Amino acid sequence: MALWMVRAGQHGEHEKRFLDEKRIYLTWDGLSHDLSKIDSRQQLRSLLEDVYPKAPKGRITNNAGQIWAFAKGMEPGDWIVLPSKHKPAIHIAEVTSPYTFVPDAEDPFFHYRTVRWIAEDIPRSNFDQDLLYSFGAFMTVCQISRNDAEQRVKAMSKTNWKPTATSVVSSDQDEADAESEAGFNDLAQAARDQIAKLIIARFKGHGLERLVDAVLRAQGYATHLSPEGPDKGIDILAAPGPMGFAEPRICVQVKSGDSPLDRPTLDQLIGVMQNVQATNGLLVSWGGFKSSVDRETATQFFRVRLWDQDDLIDQVLTHYDKLDEEIQLELPLRRIWVVSQPSE
């Protein structure tokens, strides 16, 4: 078995199609040629030069390697890692078909392989940092092999996607090598992954409620934080004003588990909102949300907000300077500026 990383477009614009159709596509615009008839990498490079005459040679070589991997390298039984661009999650699939070409397909969906989705919406924080570096490769298709990645991901599938004893602790040099091998280029995502791991390490269980409470107070809300223990579905109550008598009146539930929440948890929050006469609700789930909850986003837009770990990190970074000194000591962060290089 080989392990491959595949992206669903530069901005994840094809992710839903990949998941719904149980296919992974090679999404190169204008590449309406049957790649099964290509016999060598040189022949593929010549084809790409004809299709993209203005492309630099370096880009042709890079693209040829990725396209060759999709059409010729993958085999049924191999596993696919699809990092989500819409949430801090990873999708895992098994390839179930050979390469297939559809000449009359909508551009750019000429090339595909069918897959069986093994797991969707696995929180990124479940994966070791060296694996996340590899999943951050600045490519659309690449094989992930460093540090026994295939065996470790397969082992995680047997433990409900928790890190296992086969996980490795990488040295700084190992991580640097992994970045180089994978063509890692997303420094912002790497930083967020490290912040996420620090948060879940230092704010487990009731600690995450404390962090959310601190963020709300930094936003100007007066809050009531329930003590640790049974809370009848009320982790935090919040409202504007020095005494919290203004509106909106917000009822907050915070879930620190690493599994996506399903619809019953949202329904429970809505019920509790009515019990405490809250006008709005906030559901914070470190493990994200299942599609049954995502589908309610528009329906509940004027009543409930959903925060996954990315949303919470955004709020922490936005209001960090106003957080309690105690929280800042537990979560020491420093803002830096780097040169942004536009993608080709």
pLDDT above 80: residue 13: yes
User: What average pLDDT score do residues 188-215 get?
Assistant: 93
pTM here is 0.76
Cis, peptide link before residue 248, omega less than 30° from 0: yes
Q: What are the residue ranges spanned by the domains of the chain?
A: 3-185, 203-330
Band of residue 136 on the pLDDT scale cut at 50, 70, 90: confident
User: What average pLDDT score do residues 123-148 get?
Assistant: 90
User: What average pLDDT score do residues 119-144 get?
Assistant: 91
Domain 203-330: assigned CATH number: 3.40.1350.10
User: What average pLDDT score do residues 168-177 get?
Assistant: 48
In one letter, which amino acid is 312?
L
Is there a common fold for 3-185 and 203-330? no
Q: Which residues of 29-51 are buried (b: 16+ CB within 10 A; e: fewer)?
A: eebbbebeebeeeeebbebbeeb
Highest mean pLDDT among 98-102, 180-184, 239-243: 98-102
Residue 110 DSSP code: T
Rounded Cα distance between 223 and 249, Å, is 10
| CATH match of 3-185 with 1.10.150 | no
CA distances to 33, 43, 44, 52 from 39, rounded to whole Å, are 13, 7, 8, 20
Q: Where does the chain have alpha helices with state H? A: 15-21, 41-51, 57-68, 129-135, 149-156, 172-182, 187-202, 206-218, 263-275, 291-294, 309-318, 325-330
pLDDT above 90: residue 190: no
Rounded Cα distance between 158 and 138, Å, is 29
